[in-house]
A and B are shown apart, each in its own frame.
Chain A
């Protein structure tokens, strides 16, 4: 068999199969090359993706599942809590919570802003005491910070307890977005527009058997900005956490002050801790009461857990590991 090459390097065999005999016009195969288009028009390839507004468009079962999950999460969620704490007081406050026996199942650290103090927090916080087992950690990193965080997660004791399980990427829609990363300290070869959020798991969870604790494969590891919000963390990412873990105790730590482009939006079901938050209403006793009221479930092993009740309909619709 012999090959021919056209100028741009795509190859076609000379023994072509069934050329359209009846047609007078040869129809070339159209392959949309978004990167080529970007070089010529400067239009970001992301803007051509067709399911940004509704990622599950075209899949009725998934649409239904997302709806039901949202309702169920909302029913069980605690009220929105804020805890205003100066950056240098975060560790002492968290330590005092640990003393009181407060634990969280989902902990997110950081936001979509540069110059976060995530490393110092991770270094000095006994996170395994604050996080229950099994527990889920979501850590934000700009492309620049990945190297340092990688090192920490590989070498530190953290590594033995927290397994890096997924890497979620969040993309701003275009250059005008408030989420578009600063290019001034980008030393890479390409224009950088990704935000990384690592999902780490501690303790044992199995996706085949622990359907009361976690629901896998509901969301994807890529999220694209779909509105003009400028929260410190987009709703889409909170949603991933909520859809994945059925646990109801969620903490979000934003260690540093934000720039003028971002603000913190409170979210039902979450305790958000930051020097910048307006509402300062967190109260351990009140929080505990609310958890017992709204989401106390006895698991098979007779342990109390603060979980979101899984309805039959959700159980039936959610993607499951084949038996």
Chain B
């Protein structure tokens, strides 16, 4: 059938008004949907899809093909949803012209205002445009005048962080933890009971903790109740006042690590820990459902005993050792100091083929002031990216930072630095559980805190292979392989490493 010109007016208005809606989701230019939409808003009723196609063909003829479809617009013998063409483009300008013609006007430039506007924008991009939404306006709209909410949101830990933290909490055995008493009077009144024998010269060697506890418990009645309660709960540092102690000098810089304790005139202290209340209950390591990034045998697989190899690190072929998830190293940097062990030249350290030891994982490298730059260079050379700079805050016996003793060249040093490097894209790491610092008492010269091992284990998992380079006897630990020239002998459990190491030794012979 042939349609009357008037019967197209509704279609023209419909297309002009809804151009973008028709072409986008959910209509997507599907003709069967468009037909129903047109029927809803027009008096001309089109009953079948073939009728509609016919209608559109005629419209295209008078509007110089303003509608474009994905296939030729033909009527079908049997029409289905699948072989029907879809509308893909609407030439608005052509339709506008048609609209003008139908209303009897001649075509003028004014008749295509929309087109002109578009063209102007295309031709003159330098013309300042009116920005409808600024960053501030968007913030205002989304966060009701409180842009700090956005910052707070961004600063919030992710769900993964929260879960891994929670898991670390469940899996890390609780170590006994006590507060330290701040009240100097408590310390003095406890000392007046426990360390009151004027004839005796006290030092850490002849003081036995259990005897002091016994003494205090015997004279419980002489003690202020509050002091006794505090004694049961907190750690106290009892001043040891001997005849040679000169109180005006203040505390000894070395306290419990002092070598001349027998006649040191500075004040020393005895650490009195509270008695454990009850037998610590055996902590059960439970299994947990949240095992993402964990080894699935985590809960029942035993941890390998400590392994170590006494060797010259520079000569041992690293291919015998295999690959590791975490490497920790405390090289004896050559810093022109007379230390009781031989130091390692910077170049020698940089030349180590460390890249062989790890494909994806982390490294922790202890550095000193001057060697921090060499350390950075070394990490980059070995294929790592420096991700964190951790510090170890050194505490003395009294849980104070170390402030005396000319420990640095210009300023005193109360911390040491540890560079952390990351290689590859280890998405299996449990990040952000720990802080980038460790606070711990000093021990023997150059001995580093054990807390770092726990941090690494939380980060890479208990069963990941872990290596320590330049380790000493006290560094060997279950789950870790330690190499260095100050270790004694060889102890290996992993069959492959054992085999390769024996092959290497046999070849040497």
Interface string of A32-62 (1 = CB under 8 A from B): 1111111110001110111100011111111
In the complex with contacts A184-B154, A220-B413, A191-B172 CB distance below 8 A: no
In the complex with contacts A39-B458, A188-B388, A319-B406, A221-B400 CB distance below 8 A: no
Considering only residues 403-437 of chain B, those with a C-beta below 8 Å from chain A are 403-404, 406-415, 417, 420, 422, 429, 431-437
Whether A187 pairs with B387 at a CB distance below 8 angstroms is yes
Task: Say if the beta carbon of B492 comes within 8 Å of chain A.
Answer: no
- Contacting A36 at CB < 8 Å: which of B172, B213, B362, B408? B172
> Which residues of chain B have C-beta atoms less than 8 A from A60's C-beta?
248-250
Task: Say if the beta carbon of B506 comes within 8 Å of chain A.
Answer: no
Whether A189 pairs with B432 at a CB distance below 8 angstroms is yes
> Which residues of chain B have C-beta atoms less than 8 A from A201's C-beta?
410
Interface string of B297-319 (1 = CB under 8 A from A): 00000000110000000000000
Complex Cα distance, B210 from A25, in Å, reads 8
- Contacting B305 at CB < 8 Å: which of A5, A51, A191, A194? A5
- From A8, A48, A217, name the one whose CB has the most chain B CB atoms within 10 angstroms: A217
> Which residues of chain B have C-beta atoms less than 8 A from A25's C-beta?
210, 213, 275-276
Whether A50 pairs with B182 at a CB distance below 8 angstroms is yes
- Contacting A32 at CB < 8 Å: which of B174, B177, B387? B177
Stretch at the interface among B31-39, B187-195, B391-399, B494-502: B391-399
Task: Say if the beta carbon of B251 comes within 8 Å of chain A.
Answer: yes
Q: How large is the interface on B (under 10, 10 to 19, 20 to 34, 35 or more residues)?
A: 35 or more
Complex Cα distance, B180 from A37, in Å, reads 14
Give, as a whole number of angstroms, the nearest-CB distance from B439 to chain A: 4
Task: Say if the beta carbon of B175 comes within 8 Å of chain A.
Answer: yes
- Contacting A49 at CB < 8 Å: which of B175, B439, B458? B439
Stretch at the interface among A80-88, A124-132, A163-171, A288-296: A163-171
Whether B411 pairs with A32 at a CB distance below 8 angstroms is no
Give, as a whole number of angstroms, the nearest-CB distance from B188 to chain A: 14
In the complex with contacts A25-B210, A59-B250, A244-B182 CB distance below 8 A: no
Stretch at the interface among B5-13, B220-228, B333-341, B369-377: B369-377
Considering only residues 168-200 of chain A, those with a C-beta below 8 Å from chain B are 168-169, 171, 182-184, 187-194, 196, 199
Complex Cα distance, B412 from A62, in Å, reads 13
> Which residues of chain B have C-beta atoms less than 8 A from A168's C-beta?
411
Give, as a whole number of angstroms, the nearest-CB distance from B57 to chain A: 59
Task: Say if the beta carbon of A240 comes within 8 Å of chain B.
Answer: yes
Whether B175 pairs with A36 at a CB distance below 8 angstroms is yes
> Which residues of chain B have C-beta atoms less than 8 A from A5's C-beta?
305-306, 478
In the complex with contacts A50-B182, A58-B251, A23-B435 CB distance below 8 A: no
Give, as a whole number of angstroms, the nearest-CB distance from A144 to chain B: 11
- Contacting A10 at CB < 8 Å: which of B376, B412, B450, B459? B450
Whether B414 pairs with A220 at a CB distance below 8 angstroms is yes
Task: Say if the beta carbon of A314 comes within 8 Å of chain B.
Answer: no
Task: Say if the beta carbon of B155 comes within 8 Å of chain A.
Answer: yes
Considering only residues 442-491 of chain B, those with a C-beta below 8 Å from chain A are 450-451, 453-455, 458-459, 474, 476-479
Whether A9 pairs with B478 at a CB distance below 8 angstroms is yes
Nearest B residue to A182, CB-CB: B155
Whether B411 pairs with A49 at a CB distance below 8 angstroms is no
Complex Cα distance, B413 from A230, in Å, reads 25
Task: Say if the beta carbon of A285 comes within 8 Å of chain B.
Answer: no
Whether A194 pairs with B155 at a CB distance below 8 angstroms is no
Between-chain CB contacts (< 8 Å), 7 pairs: A55-B401, A60-B249, A184-B155, A190-B388, A194-B436, A201-B410, A221-B414
> Other CB < 8 Å A-B pairs besides A165-B410, A217-B412, 12 of them?
A28-B276, A33-B177, A46-B437, A48-B179, A50-B398, A58-B251, A62-B403, A171-B437, A189-B459, A193-B436, A216-B406, A220-B413
Residues of chain B at the chain A interface (Cβ within 8 Å):
151, 154-155, 157, 165, 168-169, 172-180, 182, 208-211, 213-214, 235, 248-251, 253, 267, 273, 275-276, 305-306, 362, 369, 372-373, 376, 386-391, 393, 395, 398-404, 406-415, 417, 420, 422, 429, 431-441, 450-451, 453-455, 458-459, 474, 476-479
Top 6 closest pairs, chain A to chain B, by CB: A23-B210, A51-B400, A58-B251, A188-B388, A190-B436, A30-B273
